[in-house]
Amino acid sequence: MHTLDGVSRSDQYRALGLSTFAFTVCFAVWTIFSIIGVKIKQDLGLSDTQFGLLVATPVLTGSISRIFLGVWTEQFGGRIMFPLQMLVTAVAVWLLTSVHTYEIFLLAALGLGLAGGSFIVGVAYTSRWFDKEHQGTALGIFGAGNVGAAVTNFAAPFLVVAVGWEGTARIYAIVLAITAVLFFVLSKTDPVVQERKRTGARPVSAGAQLAPLKNMQVWRFATYYFFVFGGFVALASFLPRYYVGAYGLELTTAGVFAGLYSLPGSVFRALGGWLSDKWGARFVMYLTFIVSLVVLFVMSYPQTSYTVSGISGPIEFDFGLSVGFFVAMTVVLGFMMSLGKAAVYKHIPVYYPHHVGAVGGLVGMIGGLGGFFLPIAFGVLLDLTGVWTAPYMLLFVIVAISTIWMHVAIRRMERGRHPGLAEETFLSDVPSEPHPKPDSPAPRAPGSAASQPAE
C-alpha cells in the first residue's frame, strides 16, 4: 500500500474536490449527444438504429481509452493526465460544429468520447490520497461526477433552444478547456509520484500494470459494471428519445425527466461507497440487482389493449404506465445503479492497490462498452419490434443473468473455502464451522428430520 505520510486532510479534500468537479464536466460533455443528437437526428433524417450508433460512438472511445489512460495515469500521475485528456477532448468538441454529414459525425464523436476516459484518470489519482478504509467513500464521492449526465439533460435542451446545437457544443468545449487549466493550476502531484521523484524509482511498466488482468475475478467485476454503469450511460442517452417518441413530449420536458433519472444515478454513488465500506460490497451488489429486476420488469410492460369476452359482449380496456409513474421507476432504477457503481469500484483499490489504473481501466472499459452496445441494441430492437419498452426487456434479461452468475460464483467460492459444503444443497448461509470435530457424531444427511429448520 502506498504511503500517506505528510498528506493533510486539506490535501485530500483538494484532490477529491477537483477530481469530482473535473469528472462532472467531462461526463456532461460525454453525454452531450443525448440532447444535440435528437436535433441531428431530425436534421439528417436518421433511423433509430443510426441514432443509437451516433449516441453510442463517444462511449466506445471513452471505454477503450480507459485501459491506456489508466496505465499512463499510474506512470505519470493524474495532475498531468487529467488536464491533457480534457484539452484534447475540448478540441474535438469544438471541431464537431463544422461537421455536416452522418459519417463524419461518427468520426467526430470518436474524439469527443475521450471525455469518458476521465473516469479512470480520476479513480487512479483520487485513490492515492486515501487509505483503504476510506477509499470506498472517497471514490463514491468522486463517482458522483456522473451527475454531469443530469447537467446535460437539464441544461443542454435550453441551450439548444437558445443558441442551437452548434452553439451548445462550443460552450461545452470552452468550459472543458477552462476546467483543464484550473485543475492543473490548483491540484497537487499525488503521493505516489512524489515518492518516486524523491527516491528516483522508475514507474511500474505497462506489462506489470496489466498482469492482474489474467485473473477471472477482475472480469467478474467488469461484468457487474456492464449493467450498473453501461446501462446507466445507455439510458441517460436513450431516455430523452424515449420520452419524445413514446409519450410525445417536447425535448425540453424530455430532458428534464431524463435528468431526474440521471441525478440519483449520480449523486448517491457516494452513499453506495459508504454502504460498501460499512456493510460490504457484496451486500450492495445483491441489493442493486434484486431491486433492479423488479423495477425493470415493471418498466418493460408495454402499453397494451385488452379485449375480454364478457357476458354481454366484448369488454375492452387499456393498460400502461403513465409518464409520472414511469419517471418514478427510472428514479428508483438510477438510485440503485448508483449504489452498484460504487460497490464495484470498492473492490479494486482493496484487492489491487498497486494496479488501480490497469484493473480499474479494464472494469471501466467493459462497463463503458455496455454504454456503447446497449444504445445500438435499443435502436435495433425498436426498429425490429416496434415496441417502445423492448430496451427495458433487454436490460431485465441482462440483470437476471448477472444476478444468477454472481450468486453461483459466490457459492462456488464459499464451497471452495469450506470443502465440507461441497455436497450440501440445503444450507442457505455458510456456517462459521462447517466441519464437525473428529470425536463428534457424523452429521445427518441433508433433508433428514434433524436437518429441517424449525417452522
- Asked if residue 171 lies in contact with residue 158, where contact means CB atoms within 8 angstroms, the answer is no
CB 63 within 8 A of CB 368: yes
Residue 433: is its pLDDT beyond 60? no
Global model pTM greater than 0.75 = no
The number of distinct structural domains making up the chain is 1
Calpha distance 89→172 (Å, rounded): 10
Cell numbers placing 255: 430532458
User: Does residue 250 sit within a domain?
Assistant: yes
Q: What are φ and ψ of residue 313, in 5° steps?
A: 130, 180
Residue 121 within any structural domain of the chain: yes
- Rounded to whole angstroms, how far apart are CA atoms 99 and 106? 10
- Residue 278 forms part of a structural domain: yes
For residue 83, being part of any structural domain is answered with yes
Residue 79 lies in a domain: yes
Structural domain includes residue 289? yes
- Whether pLDDT at 448 is above 80: no
Q: Is the pLDDT of residue 90 over 90?
A: yes
- Judge whether 347 lies within some domain: yes
pLDDT > 90? residue 317? no
Host H or E run for residue 34: helix 33-44
Print the domain residue range for 353: 9-192+205-421
Distances (CA, A) of 166 to 88, 89, 322: 19, 16, 34
- CATH at 98: 1.20.1250.20
Summarize pLDDT for 148-200 with one digit per residue, the tens.
877 887 888 889 889 888 899 999 999 999 999 999 999 988 888 787 777 77
Is there a contact between 78 and 20 (Cβ–Cβ < 8 Å)?
Answer: no
Q: What is the pLDDT of residue 276?
A: 81
Residue the block writes with cell 500517506: 4
Q: What is the mean pLDDT of the chain?
A: 80
CB 360 within 8 A of CB 143: no
Residue 444 lies in a domain: no
Average pLDDT over residues 310-336: 85
* Amino acid 336: pLDDT: 93
